[in-house]
C-alpha cells in the first residue's frame, strides 16, 4: 500500500467521471495536435510548392537606368553607369545571417548572339543549380554536362529548326544540342542555354554575371530581412524579392497559424476548466475520506500527492490518446486543407512529447487548487462525527 | 508520569451568534494501559474532548501532553506525524474507504511509512486476524456486516501499534450482541497493554473500562 495505490483505486471506482475527464482532455489535446500538425504539414507543402515555383530573390546589377514603359509596352531603356556583378562575389550570399534558408543560388550571364542567321539570347547557367530552381522543366533529351553542349527552349528549337542530337555553330565553335525544353509558357522557351563558363567566354564576360536568382523560400523565412542582408553583402547589386508570391502565400499561412494558436488557447482554457471542475467535484465528494486520511496522520503534502497523482495519470492517458486521435484527425483533414492532394503529414516527435507534456502540465496545474483545497480541509469538519 | 495529561483545557466555538463553551477548564490524567470511557449527555463536550485528545482540535486554552510532549506546540506537520505514530482512531461510522478492500483499509496508516510492501501486508493481516477477520481480507466494505466493518476499523486503528487507541461511539451503529462482541474486543486489546480512551453514551460499556470520566456542560462531573 502506497499513496499511488489510493489514487489508482479511486480512479477505478470513479470510472464514469474519470472517463469524462479523460475524454474532455483528449479532445482538447487532439484539437491542438491536429491544428499544429496541419499547420506544419501545410507549411511544408507550401515550402515544397515554393521550391517548385523557383527563385524568389533576384539579384541584378545596380544601374542608374530609366525603364521606358508605356501602357505595358516596353520600349527599352536608357541605361548609364552600368555595373557588373562579379561571379566571385556571389559566394558572399552564403555568408548572410539567414544563409540556412537559401536552397539554391543560380547565376546567369546573358548576351545576344547569332545562330544560323537568327538573333537569339544566349544564357549561361550552372545547370546543377538551374535544375534545382526550375523543377518544372521537362527536357527532351538531357541536360548539358560539357562545355560544348546546348539546351534549347522549345521556340528556339523551332525557329532554329534543330533538335536533340543536331549541331549548331556559334562564333565558329560547334555545339551539340543535347536537350530541348518542353513548352513552359515563359521566356525560357526562346532561350539558348549553355554552360556558364562557356557563355562568359563567348560573350566576353569572363568572371562576370548578368543576374542571379536565389531560391530561399520557406514558411518562416524572413524574405525582407534576407533581401536586406544580401544587399549589404553586394552593395553594387540590386536585390529584390518577388514579393507578391511570397507575401500572399505566407500571409494566408500566417493567418491560419494565428487562428490555430487562438483555437489552442481556447481549447487549453476549456480543458483547464474541465479538469478544475471535475477535480474540485471529486475533492468535495471525498471530504470524509480526506478527513480520515488527515486523522490517521497523513500530511497535507500526502493529500496533495494523492489528488495530483490522479490528475497526472488521467492527463498522461489523455495526452497519449489526444496525440493519436489528433494525428488521425490531421491525416483526415490534410487533403482538404493543403494546396496539393499529395501533401505529406508531418510526424514530429516534438508534437508527440509536447502533447503528452502539455496534457500533464494542464491537468496538474488545473488540479493544484483542488489539491490545495483538499489538503487544507479540517479533519474535524470533514469527519463531522468527532 | 501519566501517558496523557490534560490541564485547564478550554474550547470555545463561535457560532456567529454566540460563543459556545464546549470544554471548561478540564483536567484529566490517564496512565499507560488504562481503559477509559468518557460519558455524558449530548452536548456535554465528550466528542470535543476526544478530538482535542486526538490532536485534531486546538484547544482555546490549556495544555495537552502525551508522553510528556505538548502536542499542540509541535511545529507544522509534526502534529500529523505524531498522530500517525502514536494514535489510532475508531470512528462511529467506521469511515472505511469504500474502494479499498479490508486489508487495504487496514494498510492505510502504513501508506505513509517507510516499510516494505510485504511487511505492510503482514502487519495488516496480523491486525485483521487479531479482530477475527483473517478470512475476509479481500472483501470490500459493502461486502461486510456492520460488526465486521467495525472490526476492520479497529484493525486499521491498531495496525501501527499506537500508544493510544481513541474510539468515538464505536458501538453507536451496532446491535446489542455485536456491541458486546466489539466491547469485548476492546477489552482484549486493553488486556494486551493497549491504552484505550472511548467516548460512549451507553452506560453498559462502562463495565469494560477501568475508569469512567463523566462530562457535564464541558466540565468533569
Interface test with A, best of B111, B120, B155, B167 (most A CBs within 10 A): B111
Query: Above pLDDT 90, what percent of chain A?
Result: 25
pLDDT in tens, A227-244: 888 888 888 888 887 655
User: Rounded to an integer, what distance in angstroms lies between the CA atom of residue B193 and that of residue B187?
Assistant: 10
Interface of B with A in 50-89 (CB under 8 A): 50-51, 54, 56-57, 77, 80-85, 87-89
Whether chain B has a CB inside 8 Å of the CB on A16: the answer is: no
Query: Above pLDDT 70, what percent of chain A?
Result: 86
Q: Are residue A268 and residue A369 in the same domain, yes or no?
A: yes
Predicted local confidence at residue A264, as pLDDT: 86
Domain that holds residue A149: 108-207
Residue A137 pLDDT > 70 = yes
Predicted local confidence at residue A14, as pLDDT: 83
Residue of A284 and B173 predicted with greater confidence: A284
Q: DSSP class of residue B71? A: G
Residue A385 pLDDT > 80 = no
Predicted local confidence at residue A68, as pLDDT: 46
- For A1, the closest chain B residue by CA position comes to B111
C-alpha cell at A353: 512529447
Domain-ending residue, one of A181, A207, A233: A207
Residues in B closer than 8 angstroms to A5, CB to CB, are: 104, 111
CA of residue A114 relative to chain centroid, distance? 44
Predicted local confidence at residue A302, as pLDDT: 93
User: Rounded to an integer, what distance in angstroms lies between the CA atom of residue B210 and that of residue A67?
Assistant: 117
Positive or negative, the Cα torsion across A46, A51, A56, A57? Answer: positive
Contact B91 A386 (CB under 8 A): yes
Confidence of residue A71 (pLDDT cuts 50, 70, 90): very low
| ipTM for the assembly | 0.89
Stretch among A4-13, A128-137, A333-342 having the lowest mean pLDDT: A333-342
Give me the half-sphere count of Cα atoms (radius 13 Å) on the Cβ side of residue B156: 33
- pLDDT by residue for chain B (221 residues), tens only, comes to 788 999 999 999 887 888 888 899 999 999 999 999 999 888 888 888 998 998 888 999 999 999 889 999 998 789 999 999 899 999 878 889 988 999 999 999 999 988 898 999 999 999 998 888 888 899 999 999 888 998 899 899 889 889 999 998 888 877 888 888 888 888 988 998 899 999 988 888 888 889 999 999 889 87
Q: Are residue A152 and residue A80 in the same domain, yes or no?
A: no
Domain ranges of chain B: 31-59+69-220
Q: Are residue A232 and residue A98 in the same domain, yes or no?
A: yes
Predicted local confidence at residue A158, as pLDDT: 92
The beta-carbon neighbor of B95 closest among A6, A292, A300 is A292
Interface test with B, best of A1, A293, A375, A384 (most B CBs within 10 A): A1
- For A294, the closest chain B residue by CA position comes to B80
The beta-carbon neighbor of B111 closest among A3, A10, A386 is A3
User: Rounded to an integer, what distance in angstroms lies between the CA atom of residue B196 and that of residue B183?
Assistant: 11
Q: Are residue A234 and residue A257 in the same domain, yes or no?
A: no
Phi, psi (degrees; rounded to nearest 5) at B215: -110, 140
Residue A4 pLDDT > 50 = yes
User: Rounded to an integer, what distance in angstroms lies between the CA atom of residue B111 and that of residue A223?
Assistant: 61
User: Rounded to an integer, what distance in angstroms lies between the CA atom of residue A331 and that of residue A346?
Assistant: 9
Residue A306 pLDDT > 70 = yes
Alpha-carbon distance A8 to nearest alpha carbon in chain B (angstroms) = 10
Contact B99 A302 (CB under 8 A): no
Whether chain A has a CB inside 8 Å of the CB on B116: the answer is: no
Confidence of residue A76 (pLDDT cuts 50, 70, 90): very low
- For A14, the closest chain B residue by CA position comes to B99
Q: Are residue A114 and residue A237 in the same domain, yes or no?
A: no
Q: DSSP class of residue B78? A: H
Residue A86 pLDDT > 80 = yes
Predicted local confidence at residue A149, as pLDDT: 92
Q: Are residue A87 and residue A124 in the same domain, yes or no?
A: no
Whether chain A has a CB inside 8 Å of the CB on B110: the answer is: yes
Q: Are residue A122 and residue A61 in the same domain, yes or no?
A: no
Whether chain A has a CB inside 8 Å of the CB on B112: the answer is: yes
Q: Are residue A257 and residue A190 in the same domain, yes or no?
A: no
**Domain count of the fold of chain A:** 3
Which CATH class, in words, describes the domain spanning B31-59+69-220?
alpha beta
Residues in B closer than 8 angstroms to A3, CB to CB, are: 111-112
Cα dist from B36 to A285, B56, B68, B205, whole Å? 35, 19, 19, 10
Q: Are residue A236 and residue A264 in the same domain, yes or no?
A: no
Predicted local confidence at residue A237, as pLDDT: 85
Q: Are residue A296 and residue A338 in the same domain, yes or no?
A: yes
**In 3-state terms, what secondary structure has residue B29?**
strand
User: Rounded to an integer, what distance in angstroms lies between the CA atom of residue A306 and that of residue A371?
Assistant: 8
Predicted local confidence at residue A323, as pLDDT: 94
Q: Are residue A96 and residue A117 in the same domain, yes or no?
A: no
User: Rounded to an integer, what distance in angstroms lies between the CA atom of residue A223 and that of residue B124?
Assistant: 71
Q: Which helix (H) or strand (E) holds A74?
A: strand A73-78
The beta-carbon neighbor of B91 closest among A12, A299, A385 is A385
Per the prediction, chain A carries an average pLDDT of: 83
Contact B56 A297 (CB under 8 A): no
Amino acid at each position: 500500500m502506497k499513496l499511488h495505490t489510493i489514487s489508482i483505486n479511486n480512479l477505478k471506482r470513479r470510472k464514469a467521471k474519470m472517463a469524462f475527464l479523460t475524454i474532455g482532455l483528449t479532445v482538447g489535446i487532439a484539437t491542438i495536435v491536429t491544428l499544429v500538425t496541419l499547420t506544419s504539414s501545410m507549411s511544408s507543402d507550401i515550402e515544397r510548392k515554393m521550391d517548385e515555383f523557383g527563385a524568389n530573390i533576384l539579384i541584378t546589377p545596380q544601374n542608374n537606368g530609366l525603364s521606358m514603359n508605356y501602357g505595358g509596352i516596353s520600349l527599352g531603356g536608357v541605361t548609364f553607369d552600368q555595373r557588373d556583378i562579379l561571379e566571385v562575389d556571389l559566394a558572399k550570399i552564403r555568408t548572410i545571417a539567414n544563409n540556412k534558408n537559401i536552397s539554391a543560388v543560380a547565376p546567369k550571364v546573358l548576351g545576344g548572339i547569332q545562330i544560323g542567321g537568327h538573333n537569339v539570347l544566349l544564357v549561361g547557367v550552372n545547370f546543377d543549380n538551374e535544375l534545382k530552381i526550375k523543377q518544372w522543366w521537362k527536357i527532351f533529351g538531357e541536360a548539358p554536362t560539357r562545355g560544348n553542349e546546348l539546351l534549347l527552349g522549345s521556340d528556339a528549337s523551332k525557329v532554329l529548326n534543330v533538335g536533340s542530337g543536331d549541331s549548331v555553330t556559334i562564333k565558329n565553335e560547334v555545339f551539340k544540342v543535347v536537350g530541348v525544353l518542353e513548352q513552359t509558357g515563359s521566356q525560357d522557351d526562346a532561350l539558348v542555354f549553355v554552360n556558364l563558363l562557356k557563355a562568359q567566354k563567348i560573350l566576353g564576360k569572363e568572371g562576370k554575371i548578368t543576374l542571379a536568382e536565389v531560391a530561399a523560400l520557406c514558411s518562416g523565412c524572413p524574405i525582407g530581412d534576407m533581401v536586406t542582408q544580401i544587399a549589404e553583402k553586394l552593395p553594387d547589386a540590386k536585390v529584390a524579392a518577388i514579393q507578391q508570391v511570397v507575401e500572399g502565400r505566407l500571409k494566408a499561412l500566417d493567418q491560419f497559424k494565428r487562428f490555430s494558436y487562438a483555437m489552442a488557447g481556447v481549447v487549453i482554457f476549456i480543458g483547464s476548466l474541465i479538469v478544475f471542475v471535475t477535480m474540485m467535484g471529486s475533492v468535495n465528494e471525498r471530504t470524509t475520506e480526506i478527513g480520515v486520511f488527515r486523522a490517521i496522520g497523513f500530511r497535507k503534502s500526502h493529500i496533495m500527492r494523492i489528488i495530483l497523482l490522479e490528475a497526472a495519470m488521467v492527463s498522461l492517458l489523455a495526452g497519449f490518446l489526444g496525440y493519436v486521435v489528433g494525428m488521425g484527425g490531421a491525416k483526415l483533414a490534410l487533403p482538404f486543407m493543403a494546396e496539393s492532394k499529395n501533401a505529406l503529414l508531418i510526424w514530429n516527435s516534438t508534437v508527440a512529447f509536447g502533447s503528452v507534456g502539455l496534457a500533464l502540465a494542464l491537468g496538474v496545474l488545473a488540479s493544484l487548487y483542488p489539491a490545495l483545497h483538499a489538503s487544507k480541509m479540517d479533519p474535524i469538519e470533514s469527519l463531522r462525527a468527532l | 508520569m501519566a501517558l496523557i495529561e490534560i490541564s485547564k483545557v478550554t474550547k470555545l466555538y463561535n457560532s456567529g451568534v454566540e460563543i459556545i463553551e464546549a470544554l471548561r477548564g478540564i483536567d484529566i490524567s490517564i496512565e499507560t494501559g488504562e481503559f477509559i470511557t468518557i460519558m455524558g449527555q449530548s452536548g456535554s463536550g465528550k466528542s470535543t474532548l476526544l478530538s482535542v485528545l486526538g490532536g485534531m482540535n486546538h484547544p482555546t486554552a490549556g495544555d495537552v501532553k502525551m508522553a510528556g510532549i505538548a502536542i499542540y506546540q509541535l511545529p507544522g506537520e509534526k502534529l500529523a506525524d505524531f498522530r500517525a505514530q502514536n494514535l489510532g482512531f475508531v470512528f462511529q461510522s467506521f469511515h472505511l474507504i469504500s474502494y479499498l478492500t479490508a486489508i487495504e483499509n487496514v494498510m492505510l496508516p502504513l501508506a505513509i511509512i517507510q516499510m516494505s510492501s510485504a511487511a505492510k501486508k503482514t502487519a495488516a493481516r496480523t491486525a485483521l486476524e487479531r479482530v477475527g477477520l483473517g478470512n475476509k481480507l479481500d472483501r470490500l466494505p459493502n461486502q461486510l456486516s456492520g460488526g465486521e466493518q467495525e472490526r476492520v476499523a479497529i484493525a486499521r486503528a491498531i495496525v501501527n501499534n499506537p500508544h493510544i487507541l481513541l474510539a468515538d461511539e464505536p458501538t453507536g451503529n451496532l446491535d446489542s450482541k455485536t456491541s458486546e462482541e466489539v466491547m469485548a474486543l476492546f477489552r482484549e486489546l486493553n488486556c494486551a497493554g493497549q491504552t484505550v480512551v472511548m467516548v460512549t453514551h451507553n452506560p453498559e460499556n462502562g463495565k469494560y473500562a477501568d475508569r469512567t470520566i463523566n462530562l457535564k456542560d464541558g466540565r468533569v462531573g
